[in-house]
């Protein structure tokens, strides 16, 4: 059975996106200047596997990672992400121009169950808060990697805003970075 991991940046006040989808807070100068952080991000992209994305995250990432600017600014990360298989869950996206991408329009939960049962390499959800929320409710996420960014934005969307029942997690590891970000890894509690 393949492992499904959610990887998301959040603000100190708990938002994965600001108002109107603003993510500028996650791309600060401190992040760009922290070699340890940049190596961590690049190594994650090289890890292989399959990326699961919602349409908004797909649009944002596809507008940057396959570009010459990404190859110049972040060559290792761009190379890794561009090579990965990508699955976009969207009822509105007609075509996907980013390499190695397929669109799934129906029954995300059934599709992810199938992907996990096929023994695919690791599967990672990047951002995509509504996908994280839906797959959490379905009990399909095996690990949550949440990076807390040292910034308060006041308003936005929380990662688990659509969760309608309580669920417990256990901390499996933590890692602070010089830029102030802290990675917290959780698994569902037994």
Cα distances (Å, whole numbers) of residue 6 to 96, 176, 189 = 22, 18, 16
Tell me: pLDDT of 20 over 90.
no
Name the band, by pLDDT with cuts 50, 70 and 90, for residue 29.
low
CB 132 within 8 A of CB 59: no
In a domain, 114, yes or no: yes
In a domain, 120, yes or no: yes
Tell me: pLDDT of 28 over 80.
no
User: Domain range spanning residue 167?
Assistant: 17-179
Tell me: pLDDT of 49 over 80.
yes
CB 171 within 8 A of CB 45: no
In a domain, 188, yes or no: no
Tell me: pLDDT of 30 over 70.
no
Q: Which residues contact 30 (CB under 8 A, 6 or more apart)?
A: 179, 180
With tokens 């807070």, the residue in question is: 25
Domains identified in the chain, total number: 1
137-161 tens-digit pLDDT: 999 999 999 999 999 999 999 988 8
In a domain, 7, yes or no: no
CATH of the domain at 71: 3.40.430.10
In a domain, 90, yes or no: yes
CB 112 within 8 A of CB 140: yes
Tell me the C-alpha distance between 30 and 173, whole Å. 23
In a domain, 56, yes or no: yes
81-131 tens-digit pLDDT: 999 999 999 999 999 999 999 999 999 999 999 999 987 788 999 888 889
Q: What is the pTM of this model?
A: 0.90
In a domain, 184, yes or no: no
Tell me the C-alpha distance between 157 and 161, whole Å. 7
Name the band, by pLDDT with cuts 50, 70 and 90, for residue 189.
very high
111 against 22, higher pLDDT: 111
In a domain, 10, yes or no: no
User: If you average pLDDT over every residue of the chain, what do you get?
Assistant: 90
């Amino acid at each position: 059975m393949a492992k499904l991991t959610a990887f998301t940046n959040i603000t100190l006040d708990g938002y994965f996106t600001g108002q109107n989808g603003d993510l500028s807070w996650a791309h600060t100068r401190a992040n760009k200047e922290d070699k340890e952080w940049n190596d961590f991000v690049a190594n994650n992209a090289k890890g292989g596997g399959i990326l699961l994305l919602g349409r908004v995250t797909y649009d944002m990432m596809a507008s940057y990672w396959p570009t010459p600017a990404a190859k110049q600014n972040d060559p290792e990360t761009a190379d890794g992400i561009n090579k990965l298989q990508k699955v976009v869950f969207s009822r509105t996206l007609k075509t996907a121009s980013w390499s190695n991408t397929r669109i799934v329009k129906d029954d995300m939960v059934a599709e992810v169950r199938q992907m996990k049962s096929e023994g695919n390499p690791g599967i990672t959800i990047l951002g995509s808060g509504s996908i994280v929320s839906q797959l959490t409710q379905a009990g399909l996420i095996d690990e949550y990697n949440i990076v807390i960014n040292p910034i308060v934005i006041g308003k936005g969307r929380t990662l688990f805003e659509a969760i309608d029942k309580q669920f417990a997690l256990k901390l499996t590891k933590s890692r602070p970075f010089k830029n102030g970000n802290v990675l917290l890894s959780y698994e569902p509690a037994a």
